[in-house]
Each structure stands twice: as C-alpha cells, then as structure tokens.
Structure 1
Amino acid sequence: MSLEQHEEHSNSSELLSSANGDGDFENRPFSSTSPPSTNGQPSSSFTTTTTTTAATATTTRATGGDDREDDDGLTPAKHAFARICLACRTGDFEAVDSLLSTPNLDINQVDEYDNSPLILSSLCGHIKIVELLLQRGAVCDRDTFEGARCVYGALTDEIRDLLVSFDISKAVDVNQPFAAHIASLLNSSAEKDILFKIQLEEPATHVSGDEKENKVLEPELEFEQELQQEYIGLHRFLLAARSPFFKRKLFSGDWKDKVVVTLPKSVTIEAFQVIVDYLYLRTSSMALTDKSIQKKVRDLAKEYQLQDLVEGLDEIAKAQSKKEQYKIKHNLAITFVEKARKDLDIFLAENILLTSVQVPLNFDQEVDFEDIDCLSYLSQKDRAHFLQQPSIPDVVLGIIDLATESVFYYPGNKSILARSEYFDTMFKVGFSASSAHEKKPPLYTEGLIKIVNRPAFEDEHLPFLQLSSSIATQEVANMVLSYLYHDDVKEMHLKHLIELLYTADELLLDRLKTMCAVRVSSYFSKLDYAEFQLLSDELDHDAYDLIRVAWQTRCDKLEQHVTKMIAHNLQYIFKDEHEKQRLASLIQDSAARIQERQDTDTIELVDDIRYYLTKKYAISQDNETFDPLSFGRDWHSENIKLYQSAVVKYERDIEIVDTMLESLNLDA
C-alpha cells in the first residue's frame, strides 16, 4: 500500500494492529490447524503478516440477549460482541474488560468464522485476555471441537497450559453479583418471613445400628433423635416471584396467614433442599444428578410449577454418561440464573412499578429540591395499600420527580435493596424508623429460630426510605430498581445517564456505574470529531464536563473513554479556540487534583492523552526512529513508510500537548 493510500484512512489505529515490544505487528491469520508451540514460543508455521486494515467487526450468530436493534440491525449485545472479537485479535485488554460488562452478552457465542473470543485470544497469544475471559465465564472443554481448537491452536505453551488446567467448573462466573446475592440470602436470617417444617424420614443422628445396640446414647443425642424434623426459613417475596404455586399460596391461599408451614410427609428434606437451591440460585450445590431423589425432586418441581427445573431433570435423566450429565448441569446453571432474572423482571414490572403511588406536591411557590420531605406526603392509607400488594413489601421507597412535581412511592423488599452496599450497611447497623408512627416489624420465635412475623404486619411496621437524593426523575428510579431486582437496565436513555451515574455512585453500585460507562463507550465508539461534538447534545455534558463527572463519581472507565476521544481529536480541538480553552481548563483542573504538586509531577490527564496517542498510531516506544535497520529483517519498505507516517502524526499531536502545557506554565 502506498503512503497516499494509507493517509486516506482517518484512524491509524485501524491501519496498524497493536505493536509488541519488538516492533512486530500482531494481526495474524487465524488457523485452527496451526500446531502448538513446543518451547513456549510462537510456532514457526504460524506466520506473521502485516495488513493494512484491522479486522472488521464480525457478525455474531447469537440470537439471544437484548432485542433492541439500531440502524444496522444489531443489538447492543451484538455490537459489544463484535468489538470484543476485534479486541481479542489486537490484544486490547482494557476494551475486553470494559465490554464484558455489557448486559445480556454471551461470551461463548461465535462469529461467522466459528471463532469465540476465547479462541481468538488464544490463537493470537494474548494470555492476559485468555485468563480474563476464563474468569468471566468463557468455557474451554477439550472434549468439544471448539475446545480442542482453542487448546491445540494456542500460540504459546503458557496459554495452552492455562486452558488445560482451568477446571470447567470455574467457567460459571462466581463473581456474578446478581446470582451471588440471591444465593447469599439463604445464609442470612434477616428478612426471612416464612418457616417450612419438614418431617425427617430418618433420625437426625448418624449413629450406626451396632452403636445403637451396644452404646447408651448421650442425653443431647436422644433429644436430637426425638426431634426428627427440620426447619427452613425463606423469603415470601422471592418464593412468589419464582413460582406461581407459591405466589398463589402466599398471597391468597391457605399460607397467607401462616408463619410456619408444615409440609406433607411425602416431601423429603433432600428433595425440598434441591427446590430451595434452585429458587436461591445455589446451582453449584443442586443434587440434580442424584438418582435416588430425582423422581421426588421432579414431582415437587412439577407441583410447584417450576417448568424449567422439570425439563432440566428430564434432560439429565436422558444423559448417557456422568460426563454428559455434568455438562448438562453446567448449562442448566446458566439457564436457571437467566430464568430467575426474567422472573424478577416480571415481578418488578407487575407488582412494584405498576402499584406505585403518585402524590402531587402542589407548590404555590418555588421550593428547593433538597428541602422537600418525601415522608411528610406518605399517608397511612398509602402504607395500608402497599401492605396488601403481591410484592409482599417490607419497606416503602420514595423519590421526587421534578418533571411532574410529584412524589412517587414504591413498595420494596429490603433483601433486594441490600444489593447496594449503601443500603446493606444501613440495614446491618440498624435501620431505625423514620417517624414516631413507625415500629419495628414483629418477630416469630420458636426455640433459637427468629423470623419476621408477616401475618402480624400492620402499616406502622412498613418503614419509609428515600431511594436516593440524586434521583430527580421517575425514569431514573425505575432504572435503579431494574438493576437491583434483575441486574439489567433495559432502556438506559442517554439523557438520564449522568443522573443515573450519580445515583449509582451514591448507592455504591460499581457495576451499574460500569454499565453507564459502557453505554457511553458503545454509543460513541467511532471516536471521530462528529461524535465528539455530539456528546453535548446527547448527554447535556461536553467531553470536558464528562471527565469532571467521572472524577466526581470515581468512574474510571468513563474517564478513560472520553480521554481517548480527546486524544483522537486533538487537531480539531487545537484549531477551535473555544475547545482549546476548555481543554486547557481541564488540564489545569487535573493538575490541581494532585495535592502539593511539584513542578515536575506528572498530570494524570496529560499522561492518559499521551498513552492513547501511542495506541492511536500504534507507536512502539522502542522504535521511534526512521532507521530501517531498527525494524528487523522482516520489514518491507512499504511497512517502514507506514510506520514513519504514523510517527510523524504522533509527534505532531504530542507537540500540541506540549504547547498547551507551556501556555499554562506546567511541566509534565
């Protein structure tokens, strides 16, 4: 390619793939038949080639996930997958890490060439990305064709050893916050409000027949034998959300006024425990492959209208080997989590959002937002209304909607709100009543067991809690509740994104903050000047204000993406006097963030801009020279010209940065 052809492309980072320390470009052909390395170095047959364009975004063959499509017919999840595939080829760890937070993203899907992100990163030799993908749920099973390609096509022995040693049981993302939180509810006695009593078929002791004949039992051992029953405390709202059977029984059936429910003798503790593990997403401990209880579990699942569990048990029963059973169980674990999210999505929409109450403020004069007391507008009638709702709430949430000048109240569940570290800490240290009319919930006690006595609940036992002082619109409140209840925000509108980001920061929801940053980076992904100017129209904040917002909310991913946009448009910014002054002011603010800054201390913003300039032009710090000998034997003259052109443009942009620093009397 000639130099003139090269300059027709606007983004040099798309012309040259990322350079490694030796100056070698890493855009290689992908071959599933390439033999593995024998000494930890790339295989000799895995030839290196230099191309003039980066790998184009691949078209995924997945059909699940978010159904909303843009003008290109691609959903956000599909866009993210295409970008992850590109980042796995080029070794962009930061891009992969950021994009993995995209909701509804299946990282085990493949592109049109049957390459998954794990296969691409393995073939291209990016071990850090391989490790990241494995930790986030990517599956590599050597007994499948895809797994064999991934392992035996690995560029280095180190990657191959990592893939082989990584236990498939680790492939489920144990750090998935939604599933982990639901599972943790079973370990805490807080907010449990129904007790199931199960008659045990065998004595609770583990004394053998010979020991019974030849040994006198200790008094406490005899007491355990006499009990022969077990109690399991659960959460009414979660049972109602996950099962139509439980919802009917708890809300309008014969369990409505009961604190303790004695199950029929036909229900065994082992079978019921599997049901509980399913409801609470304790998928790793579900005894689905235990043939001795499979029929009993299936009968219970059918009675409780848990159709996906019934189908899963049927699938396991048809498996021909234990290995096949294990694979099925692994896939079911993912299916069960997605089903739980859908269940709680429906629960939120039908039983919380639809039953909210709007109370007009009716102000005669202007009032400051901070001076409005939401609690004073909540009537006893509204509390009583919420108490009768199928959401089975234990708290009332309030937010102020400035657009309608109203207060909106929602029934809520503290166990779900505890996903926020802010609320979790509040509840653990002792959630005090908001007014003299509120009382602590009544408790039911049986021996050492203490649970909330839900049938004795009255409106005075339903406390009030303002969802967030940062929320000023009902739409943002709905987004926050959507995230808390089912770990997704279906409609994250750009005009509400900054308000949502501030709310997420206030409630200590780091994952939601990341989702906000991903929304910005995925929508403004071209990095050109047109998109740079569009920021202000879409978000009501220009690039410079967005970085200040990122500082305030400690959202590194947002800060880095906007900084990258600035780096890619330095020429345009420098030519526009207004933009130039805005950037200069931002650099000063960045310098001021360093306490007791010395004259030669670095400035974080400037360092980041310089870093993204090297990424933009694919500049290797070891080869900032025009000496052809420094590039090695394999470099052709055409490649040297391309690199020289990139270096010239890089130095031109670096000069802009240095000029601005000099005008501000800053040295960094």
Structure 2
Amino acid sequence: LGADTAISQHHGTLGKDTIALFESCRRGDLSKIRHLVEEREIELNIRDRWDGTPLYYACLCGHKEVVEYLLDNGARCVANTFDGERCLYASLNVGIRNLLRDHKVVTSNTMRRDGYDQFLRRCLDDRQHCDITFRVGGEEVRAHRCILAARSEFFRDAFRTKWRGHNVVPVTHHLVDASVFRIMLEYLYTGRLEMQARQSDSLIELAERCRLTSLVGQLHDLLVSSSSRRKAWNEFKTLLLEPSQYAQEVQRDLSRLAEQTLPAGDCKVSADERSTGDAGYADVCFNVHGCYFFCHKVLFCNRSEYFRALIEDPFTEALSTGTSRDVPVISLNHVTPEVFKCVVQHVYGNTTTALEPENVWEVACVADVYLLPELRRQCGQLIGESLDEAGACSALKVARLLRLHRLEEQCIDFMARHLAQVVQRPEFREIVAQDASEVKLRQETDSISVIDDIRYHIAANARSCAEVALANQKLALIDALLSDMGLDA
C-alpha cells in the first residue's frame, strides 16, 4: 500500500491510465500512448499538479514522433497562451519547435475534434448524396437541401419558392466566386470557416444576401480583432472563424431537422411544416415496426458505416410507405421505435433527450450494433451516473462487453468505495472467478484483473492516517474473499 500511495500523492488525483500517459510521454513510448488514447480514451489535455500536460513533457523530453501524434489527435498548443508558449520554449530541440509552429496547432483549429465535428466535415465533403447544384462563376458547387434548409432561413424559403423544382441554381453576383461560396457552405455545415483576408468583403456581401446576420456580425468582429493585432494588413493572411458556440448552433438546427423525421405521433412540429419543410427532402425511410422515420442519407451514411452499407445496398427496394413520398424503405426489425428515436436524435444533433435509465441498456447495445461509438459512450455515462450496489457488477460486465473503458473505471472505483457491500454479492464472485480463469498457467506473481484494479483505487484514495487504516481493512476483505474462493492474487 505504501508504494501505491506514494505514486498517487505524487500525481495528485490522476487515474491509473492518466498516470501511464504522462509517464509514456516522458519515455517516448508511442505504442503505449496510442493504446491509451485510442483504446482507453484518455483525455490529452489533462494537467498534473505542476500544470504540465502530456504534450509539454513530450516536447521537454525531445520525443518528436510523440509530439506529432499528440498534435494530430488534438493536444492543445494555442499561440499567445501559457500552454502554447510553454511548449514552444520547453522544446528540447529546434525540430520540435518547428513542428509546433508548422503544424497549425498553435491555433484553435488544432484542438481535438470529437466524432460530431468529424461527422459534419464528412457531410460537407459528401458528393454522393447531393441533391442541389449551384453554378458559381462557371464552376459547379454541390450541396444538400436538407442541411442548407435546416441551417438558413434564406435557403429554406428559396427551396420552397423560387428554386422549387430546380436541381441547378445559378449564382450570378459579380463579387461572388466559387471559393467564397464554398467558404459559406463550410460555415453552414460545420459552424466554422477558414478564409484569406482578401476574401472577407465578398464573403460578407454573400452572407448579407443570404440573410446570415449572425455570420456577418462575426466576420466584422473577426476583421476588427485581426487588424488590431497587426501593424500591416496582409490580404493573404489566413483568418479562422470559430465561434465558441458553433457546435451548439449546428446541433440546435439539425436537432430540429431530426424532429421532423419522427413518426407523426412523436413529431413536435406542425403537420404543415412536416410535409413541406426540411423533412420533405428525405431520401430514405426506416420502417420500425410500422413506424416510419423519413430521414436523410447524407446524415446517416456519414454518421455510421453500418447505415452506409445498409442504405447503399443495391438490393434495397423502394417500397410503398402509404404516403405520397416515394423513397427507399428499409425495415429494421431488431429495434423498437423508442430506441430508434434515440438513434435519430444522436445521428442528427448529437443529443440524447430520449435516453432514459429505462432504455439506456438497450440503446447501448443497439449503438454497438449500429457502429455509433459516441452514442455508446453517452449511454455509458448515464449508466455511470446511476451506479448502485445492486447494479455495479452488471454495469462492469456491460462496460467490458461494449468496450466502455470510462464506465469500467467508474465501476471499479464504485466497488472500491463500497467494497464491504460488493464482496458479499454473488455476481462479484462470478467476475473474480471469470477474471481468474482467463489467466493461463497461473503463476504466483499473476494478478486477477478486477482485484488488481480495485486494489489500485483503494490505494489511490488513501491519504490520511485514517484513510490508510480504512484502506487496509478493505484490502483485508479482498484477501479473505480470495482465500474463501481458493485463489491467490
């Protein structure tokens, strides 16, 4: 217990995997870092008691490959901030310093993007499911009606009136070229944009014509702040617009679109809006036990490879839905309408308002089948918030089965804090026996996974003399359990 307690006090309240990340960055163990980041989902921008980050230690110790990997996966190094300058000046050599400067991670554009950000970018780049083409300055720019209508009142009105029935729309304004139009689309799809300073006037003109008042105001503020920091204006300078609330705005608009896809009884929008609004651009329908969800291929295909394979299956037939819409109908028989509603909300708006303790287990399993890891993790978070002595062991089994590493860590921590009650439960003995059986050709030095993890958490929480005494009592309970089961670990 003494050695484990010393390690815990040295690193503050950091978890076992987080401590391993810091140590691996100091050593330059890239394979271990990959495992911790990609499999264990460890946060890269966490700090230790000295305000150091994993990136800082990798720079300080001169591990260039580790620095590059951390930057690629979202480690923050923002220019003119404490962290950014600290990493630059702590770099062991010029190569790492140049890497920080050249990698573009010294701007907020380098911050780690979650799955929803990447999903929005894939929708922007999607060309297979486009249903509208804009002809701008001799170039064709393709897009998706459902997203443009959901994000902009101007496009929503235009698609219903003057552009109704048109698949190609000419854009003839002399100040607008294809590159500027694409920048505006980037903003509508992702909530952020990147442009050269010389394009600002054209973009503001286009945004005003499209009644994007919020974008116009943000662009003016960006130009003022950029010019105030520079003595000489450089028209080729790259400007990044990334409002702090960009994700919430996109999520809000696409969540509204998700509401229009739901069966009539669940839909919170009017029948008129449902029939003529953004859901009118639906190009795929999911039949879930007689409940029809009119959805959009661009969103489902770019959110999940499972749905991409399902939707793009050449044998999918355009069956009748009993309505005036002729779209492909795909029957989903292994999920309930209530659970699929959670899936739709997640796909469109990354929200889970329909997720409840009563359905979270079923949603977690469906998310695993549908290859929706973020929804699976959101389920794990809800399960972790409602752990109790009766359900902790079941939650641990689910966490392992669905590879929910954070939930697994929460379950272990809960068991360590309530060990006296947990060790009396038969299901806990089952987990211990299962972990013991998985160790092939057991030796005296082998450890049982769940026991080893619980012991670590017990030691990590032992600071004062009273806590150390309590920890020793818990360790004695573990020893007694193992002795009773005929195990030694």
TM band (smaller chain): 0.7 to 0.9
Q: How does 1:464-543 map to 2 (within 5 A)?
A: 464-466=329-331, 469-470=334-335, 472=336, 474=338, 476-490=339-353, 492-521=355-384, 523-524=385-386, 532-533=388-389, 536=390, 542-543=391-392
Q: How does 1:565-644 map to 2 (within 5 A)?
A: 565-574=414-423, 576=424, 579=425, 581-590=426-435, 594=438, 598-600=440-442, 606-618=448-460
Could you give the per-residue CA deviations for residues 11-67 of structure 1, whole angstroms, max 9, x where no partner exists?
A: x99xx99633xx86344xxxxxxxxxxxxxxxxxxxxxxxxxx7xxxxxxxxxxxxx
Distance 1:660 1:170, change over 3 A: farther
Which residue matches 1:309? 215
Q: Does 1:390 align with 2:285?
A: no
Contact preservation (8 Å) 1:591, 1:603: no
Which residue matches 1:242? 151
Deviation (angstroms), 1:507: 0.5
Q: Which has the higher contact order (CA 8 A, sep 6+)?
A: 1
State the SS of the aligned residue for 1:233: strand
Q: Quick one: which amino acid aligns to residue 407 of structure 2?
A: L
Which residue matches 2:164? 256
Q: Quick one: which amino acid aligns to residue 168 of structure 2?
A: V
Could you give the per-residue CA deviations for residues 200-250 of structure 1, whole angstroms, max 9, x where no partner exists?
A: 3xxxxxxxxxxxxxxxxxxxxxxxxxxxx1111211101101110111111
User: Whole-Å Cα distance in 2 between the matches of residues 157 and 646 of structure 1?
Assistant: 44
Distance 1:396 1:87, change over 3 A: same
Q: Does 1:276 align with 2:185?
A: yes
Deviation (angstroms), 1:427: 3.1
Contact preservation (8 Å) 1:121, 1:129: no
Which residue matches 1:297? 203
Which residue matches 1:347? 257
User: Whole-Å Cα distance in 2 between the matches of residues 128 and 268 of structure 1?
Assistant: 41
TM-score, normalised to structure 1's length? 0.56
User: Is the helix fraction higher in 1 or 2?
Assistant: 2
One of 113, 125, 135 as aligned partner of 1:187: 125
Distance 1:136 1:650, change over 3 A: farther
Which residue matches 2:479? 655
Contact preservation (8 Å) 2:284, 2:295: yes
State the SS of the aligned residue for 1:190: coil
Could you give the per-residue CA deviations for residues 289-319 of structure 1, whole angstroms, max 9, x where no partner exists?
A: 432x322211211121222321121112213
One of 408, 411, 422 as aligned partner of 2:291: 408
State the SS of the aligned residue for 1:494: coil
Which residue matches 1:527? none
User: Whole-Å Cα distance in 2 between the matches of residues 657 and 331 of structure 1?
Assistant: 59
Mark the structure with the bigger radius of gyration: 1
Distance 1:125 1:172, change over 3 A: closer
User: Whole-Å Cα distance in 2 between the matches of residues 264 and 143 of structure 1?
Assistant: 42
Could you list the runs of 5+ residues in structure 1 that have no partner in the other structure?
A: 1-11, 28-53, 55-85, 108-116, 201-228, 360-383, 401-406, 439-457, 525-530, 537-541, 621-637
User: Whole-Å Cα distance in 2 between the matches of residues 410 and 609 of structure 1?
Assistant: 46
- Two-structure CA RMSD over aligned residues (Å): 4.6
Distance 1:232 1:495, change over 3 A: same
Could you give the per-residue CA deviations for residues 173-218 of structure 1, whole angstroms, max 9, x where no partner exists?
A: 45432232222234333211111112x3xxxxxxxxxxxxxxxxxx
Contact preservation (8 Å) 1:191, 1:415: yes
Q: Does 1:432 align with 2:432?
A: no
Deviation (angstroms), 1:394: 0.7
State the SS of the aligned residue for 1:433: coil
Deviation (angstroms), 1:460: 6.5
State the SS of the aligned residue for 1:517: helix
User: Whole-Å Cα distance in 1 between the matches of residues 169 and 410 of structure 2?
Assistant: 54
Contact preservation (8 Å) 2:416, 2:457: no
State the SS of the aligned residue for 1:410: strand
Distance 1:125 1:589, change over 3 A: same
Which residue matches 1:368? none
Deviation (angstroms), 1:461: 3.4
One of 114, 119, 136 as aligned partner of 1:176: 114
User: Whole-Å Cα distance in 1 between the matches of residues 251 and 415 of structure 2?
Assistant: 38
Contact preservation (8 Å) 1:196, 1:261: yes
Contact preservation (8 Å) 1:614, 1:650: no
State the SS of the aligned residue for 1:398: strand
Distance 1:194 1:543, change over 3 A: same
Which residue matches 2:398? 549
Which residue matches 1:318? 224
Contact preservation (8 Å) 1:189, 1:233: yes
Could you list the runs of 5+ residues in structure 2 that have no partner in the other structure?
A: 23-35, 58-66, 267-271
Q: Quick one: which amino acid aligns to residue 563 of structure 1?
A: I
Number of aligned residue pairs: give it: 446
Q: How does 1:160-175 map to 2 (within 5 A)?
A: 167-169=105-107, 171-173=109-111, 175=113
Percent of matched pairs sharing the same residue:
19
Deviation (angstroms), 1:422: 0.7
Which residue matches 2:305? 421
TM-score, normalised to structure 2's length? 0.74
User: Whole-Å Cα distance in 2 between the matches of residues 603 and 253 of structure 1?
Assistant: 75
